[in-house]
Amino acid sequence: MKSLSILGSTGSIGLSTLDVIRQHPGRFRVTGLAEGHDVDQLARQIREFGPGIVSVRDEASARRLEDLLGPEKPEIRWGIDGAAAVGAAEGADMVVSAIVGAAGLKPTVSAIRAGKDIALANKETLVVAGALVMNLVREHGVTLLPVDSEHSAVFQSLSGHRNEDIRRIVLTASGGPFRNTPAEELKAVGPEQALKHPQWDMGAKITIDSATLMNKGLEVIEAHWLFNMPADRIGVVVHPQSIIHSMVEYIDGCVMAQLGAPDMRAPIAYAIAWPERCESGIKTLDLTEIGSLTFEEPDTKRFPALRLAFEALKAGRTCPAVLNAANEIAVAAFLENRIGFTDIPALVDRTLQAHEPFTPSSLEEYLEADAWARKTAREMATV
């Protein structure tokens, strides 16, 4: 039986992970849970799965959880340090890293240093501090398995093949809800429209990132670190049906692709059961029902976030961390109706232009760059 701790248990990835676990009571067990916003949901998860340690957003949430659970409660921590404690706690064979944003970096690093295998759904961990994290993965001999559907598809398409035979990696993008929206209409887009993704059911932040194509840009940076691939050998193609999750092109002209219904339970099941497979609960793919698959070039003029991500990756050093932090602030401001939709990439660009990149040598220095970018972007968003 494999023991799992889940960082971000009440978010969309966490809920999907628990759904897969629920289907296999004799195969997986839950040893730790960390959440950030939904104490009531966490209390229900604790009663169902019986973890030994949990973490919540803050001390007030911890006290409320204690009241909900009564005497039959696990060890309760709070804050980023609490999530890091869950990640490092004894008893877990694997940690599912699904906290949204850069907040997932420290808990994931804590889990790696504790020797836990990682099922990584928190792409920002590698976007912010890819060099540090991958060095720690090698140093501690842990296995890091991608959960993002695109990177899981690449990982599966690489199986059994030599890295030196790869020509390029091609990530697919749905194109989001505004794929065919004229540029002049994007300025008037509001949060309610942007949160209506045509294919995937995701949290608010990731859904907005998908609408701007920043999510694909962050995935390009993640792919660079996961697969040791330079930016000029990572491509992006818009595939509105979201059936082909990504592809690998080889030097002989052959392309390996992974297909499946757009449901995150499939890559989650693949990661937590690896090197085996297990039932995920998703529906069987019927290609005759789908009928056709189409592909388009991404429009980086209407959606400059993707271009900014490639530029940040090529610039290296602290630029990806700044890109990510500024984007998190910009998305939050958009969701609060403080800036417009097209202001999101513009704010990220302005923050990057104001940054003086440096080469970090520690986790603390990556976090310093992150903090600088957040402060700068907040100030710019109020102007």
* C-alpha to C-alpha distance for 239 and 235, rounded to whole angstroms: 13
CB atoms under 10 Å from CB of 91, counted, come to 13
Q: What is the mean pLDDT of residues 275-289?
A: 95
Residue holding tokens 């949290």?
Answer: 203
Q: Are 119 and 145 in contact (CB under 8 A)?
A: yes
CATH of domain 2-146: 3.40.50.720
Kind and range of the H or E element at 2?
strand 2-7
| Sequence spans of domains, the chain | 2-146, 151-314, 316-383
Q: Are 84 and 105 in contact (CB under 8 A)?
A: no
Kind and range of the H or E element at 130?
helix 124-140
Q: pLDDT value at position 302? A: 95
* C-alpha to C-alpha distance for 243 and 172, rounded to whole angstroms: 9
CA-to-CA separations, 311 to 99, 173, 352, in angstroms, rounded = 26, 19, 10
**pTM higher than the cut 0.85:** yes
Mean of the per-residue pLDDT values for the chain?
96
Percent of the chain whose predicted confidence (pLDDT) is above 90: 95
CATH topology of domain 316-383: Rna Polymerase Sigma Factor; Chain: A (1.10.1740)
Give pLDDT tens digits for 183-218.
Answer: 999 999 999 999 987 766 677 899 999 999 999 999
**Does residue 358 have a pLDDT over 70?**
yes
Give the confidence band of 37 by pLDDT, cuts at 50, 70, 90.
confident
Q: pLDDT value at position 197? A: 73
Give pLDDT tens digits for 62-87.
Answer: 999 999 999 989 999 999 999 999 99
